Amino acid sequence: MAQARRFVSLLVVTGLAGAAMVAGPGAGAEQTGPVVATQDAYVISTATRTTYDTTELRVRSTATQKLQGFLKFDLELGLRGVPAAATSLRATLRLSVSPSSQSGRVEVRTSGSFSERTVTWANRPGASAIQGSAVVTPGGTFALDAGPVTGAGLRSYALTAPAGQGAQLRFASSEDPDPARRPALTVSWTSPGPPVSDRLVPREGAWWGSYPGQAAGDVEAREAVYGRQVDILHRYHDWNDTWPTAEEQGYAAQGRILFEGWESRVFGGATSCWADIAAGAYDAAIDAQAERLADFGGRLFVGFMHEPEDNLGPCQPGAVNDAKADMGSAEEFKAAWRHIVERVRPVAPNVVWVLSFMGHDPAGSWALYPGDDVVDWVAWDPYNWANCAGRASDSWRSLQQVAQPMYAQLDAVGNTKPRMLGEFGSHDDPAMGSKQQWLRDIPAMLRTAMPKVRAVVYFDRVATPVPGDPCAWLADSSPQAQAGFAAAGADLYLNQPHN
């Protein structure tokens, strides 16, 4: 990492060479600080109304007497120079032990705010779980882990002792005459990497995409509605199609990321059985497609058979024009997926593989997962049906409500792949809820509730509606909906650099 400053170098600069490295940043982490405490004091349980704002901080914990210290730091100063995209921010607290102190363990906890002029045992702030601890000895200087840092502003900590520890620990306070001994906080951070990873993960925020249909002019027409160019352009292709098409390559050249869905069927024709794909019956077609993807050269998303839950069952190869024709078992789907990825990847390493579930039954969807080694992203398709298409029992639900079950499933199984809403949308029914607000809420929801979702792709097909689906999915189903969609798409969280 260019010009990374090692923590030990910082200790030397601040006069702390030889300080005990109880906890600290990982190799290569960059640093900012140190920032000296702006306020500190200690309190005693046997003097509940007294404030001790002295040159020392004291810590002890027995059944008859407890001493606790409190420190406050101003991270408006401490975080200057840290890039907005920096990650893994973590604080390290420097404490200097007084020569008159006893030996023992000190614990560092984050705490509520306080004033060194008025804090007492009776009004002391609450403290969190232990962030770091160390056994300290008289006269030494120690660096303790003080936990993650979430932003600038004032940050307070409590110093405590383990229950039953009779040793009284004494530390230099911010009033100590020697500046090098005063409590100080250093923040380590990881320098931001490239704007986009090799697996097409944006460094910050999320991609904004759509499936606008595939007729000539659909992309331009819908982007005029959105008021911007999409990050991800989603397309679907039959098993026997040749893609990326010349039109798609042109869109990619203009800066869009292609997301190609390769279906194991021919729309208007027959299906292909997953077991046959896994067994190699279609290797010639797979190899030819791999060469086309390699020739394309640029990175792109590719998925095989989106929403496979809809096609589970003994394969029906003769089924014609049936989107829900059965193609095989869960095990056969996983084998087909693995076979395709393992055959294409050596030829076309530029492909980023996206597994797209329906996600209605999270555990059932997860049963189709073929393995971390052949999946780059996990996607699912949440919709707010809102009493549309005969779904009389469906109430109005936010995007968070419809997407949360699958998000929680991925958390529960420990899946760490970047996540995508490969299709999503909302019906428009003002009597049930505001689609405008539903859309406006997307950036804030992603930022606060679903930060692991790094791409969202709206289902905005303008062609003939799906049979039996009269729902008003379009981004401009009403002027209000269009305003909500445009507002979401203009949010900085959904406007990330591509290079």
Domains of the chain (ranges, CATH numbers): 7-190 (2.60.120), 207-494 (3.20.20.80)
Helix axes 479-490, 218-226, angle to 10 degrees: 80
d(CA 46, CA 28): 46
DSSP β-ladder status, 154-160 and 169-172: unpaired
Residues 6+ apart with CB under 8 A from 313: 326, 327, 328, 329
d(CA 285, CA 343): 11
Per-residue pLDDT of the chain (499 residues; tens, 9 = 90+): 222 222 222 232 233 333 443 334 433 357 788 999 999 999 999 999 999 999 999 999 999 999 999 999 998 866 777 877 787 788 999 999 999 999 999 999 999 999 999 999 999 999 998 998 888 999 999 989 898 998 888 999 999 999 999 999 999 999 999 999 999 999 888 777 788 999 999 988 999 999 999 999 999 999 999 999 999 999 999 999 999 999 999 999 999 999 999 999 887 778 899 999 999 999 999 999 999 999 999 999 999 999 999 999 999 887 767 778 899 999 999 999 999 999 999 999 999 999 999 999 999 999 999 999 999 999 999 999 998 888 888 899 999 999 999 999 999 999 999 999 999 999 999 999 999 999 999 998 998 889 999 999 999 998 655 566 688 999 999 999 999 999 999 998 899 999 8
Residue recorded with tokens 């020739």? 295
Smallest CA-to-CA distance from 86 within 157, 9, 132, 28 is with 28
* Burial group, residue 268, by CB count within 10 angstroms (0-12, 13-18, 19+): exposed
d(CA 240, CA 348): 19
Number of alpha helices (DSSP H) and beta strands (DSSP E) in the chain: 12, 22
Asked whether the whole model's pTM tops 0.75, one would answer no
d(CA 445, CA 456): 12
Sheet hosting strand 141-148, strand order edge to edge: 20-21, 141-148, 87-96, 184-190, 30-36
Length in residues, the chain: 499
Dmax over CA atoms of the chain, in Å, equals 87
DSSP 54-121: SSEEEEEE-SS-EEEEEEEEEHHHHTTT--TT-EEEEEEEEEEB-TTPPPEEEEEEEE----TTT--T
